[in-house]
Structure 1
Amino acid sequence: MSFLRTASLFAATLTTGLTAGLFAAFSYAVMPGLGRTDDRTLVLAMQRINESILNGWFALCFGGALLFTLLAAALHVGAGHRAVLPWVIAALVLYLLVLGVTAVVNVPLNDVLARAGDVDRVADLAALRQRFEVPWVRGNAVRAIASTAAFGLLAGALVGPGRLPG
């Protein structure tokens, strides 16, 4: 059981960290870079990114972060293993915030771009960009901060009280 507790916590930390890295990279590199482009480039690039991100690797990280964190929490409920439970629960709450923002802000905005269709047939690319860019960037910033904090908490749980031989 000790191996399963550690393995689940490690998997939660790894998948949360990979997800946090993705959202952070969008915050400090991808969106600022696209923000310096014209309307057509931003819309087309985000349409293609939104299409290509729906793959097994993303699903493993994005969904795995939730599942592995839930598993780690469940496996640390027993007496003698609760020292890291508050860290794991706090990480879980932050990751639930990430999921909520994704579902309420980012995915609906991605869907707006998808429904717009071929960028060469969009009547007003500037209006489409304006509707999408600022709220998507703000939502992603929340996801980046919350998932990075969750990653830090899970990393702390890995090395926290009761985890390392001492």
Structure 2
Amino acid sequence: MKRMTFGLAFAAAIGSGLMAGLFFVFSVTIMSALGKLPAAAGIAAMQSINTTILSPLFLTAFMGTALLCVVLAIVAMLNWSGPASGWLVTGALLYVAGTFLVTIVFNVPMNDALASAAPDSGEAANLWTRYLSVWTGWNHVRAVTSTAALGAFIQALRLL
């Protein structure tokens, strides 16, 4: 059981790290760069990013990590006396709530709204201004929580 838990925690750490890096780059570079473009160009670029990112590899890393976290949380709670259990549950909660659910509840609906906007319209320009602020704010949450999940999983791995 310990070897399986270690493998699951290692994979969750890798997945959390991949997502942390992706969201970090969006927060510190990509969104700022898109915000410097004329609204129509920024919207068109983000629309392209939002369709391109939905690849099997991204979805496997993003959703697979969420699934690993659920399994790890269950395993950790079943073995609550284990030295790594608290860290495993913490990492799982950070990723599932702060990364996965924030994406589903906040970022994806904004992406859907942007997808239906005609980049050259005045309505789209207003949407883009709000999108840059609100979407990026929630992305900061995803960057921080996926990084914190990675840290929790690393701590758990030290104790396994």
Shift of 1:81: 6.5
Quote the residue 2:149 is aligned against: 150
Deviations for 1:36-59, whole angstroms, at most 9, x for unmatched residues?
211112101110011011111111
Quote the residue 1:111 is aligned against: 112
Q: SS state of the match for residue 54, structure 2?
A: coil
Quote the residue 1:34 is aligned against: 34
Of the structure 1 ranges 141-150 and 69-78, higher mean CA displacement relative to structure 2 is found in: 69-78
Quote the residue 1:50 is aligned against: 50
Structure 1 unaligned residues grouped into runs of 5+:
none
Change in CA separation of 1:73 and 1:125 when aligned onto 2, cut-off 3 Å: closer
Alignment of 1:125-136 (within 5 A): 125-136=124-135
Moved over 4 A (4+): 77-81
Change in CA separation of 1:68 and 1:79 when aligned onto 2, cut-off 3 Å: closer
CA contact (8 A) 1:27 1:141 kept: yes
Quote the residue 1:73 is aligned against: 73
Deviations for 1:143-165, whole angstroms, at most 9, x for unmatched residues?
11111111111111111x3x2xx
Shift of 1:79: 5.0
Q: SS state of the match for residue 84, structure 2?
A: helix
Quote the residue 1:83 is aligned against: 83
CA contact (8 A) 1:15 1:60 kept: no
* Counterpart code for 2:41: T
In structure 2, what is the Cα distance between the partners aligned to 1:25 and 1:98? 15
In structure 2, what is the Cα distance between the partners aligned to 1:25 and 1:156? 24
In structure 2, what is the Cα distance between the partners aligned to 1:109 and 1:71? 29
Change in CA separation of 1:64 and 1:112 when aligned onto 2, cut-off 3 Å: same
Alignment size in residue pairs: 159
TM-score for both structures, normalised by structure 1: 0.87
CA contact (8 A) 2:72 2:89 kept: no
Deviations for 1:76-120, whole angstroms, at most 9, x for unmatched residues?
445596111101111111112222221221111101111114x24
Structure 2 unaligned residues grouped into runs of 5+:
none
Which has more radius of gyration?
1
Q: Tell me how large the CA RMSD over aligned residues is.
A: 1.8
Change in CA separation of 1:86 and 1:79 when aligned onto 2, cut-off 3 Å: closer
In structure 1, what is the Cα distance between the partners aligned to 2:81 and 2:21? 29
Identity across the alignment (%): 36
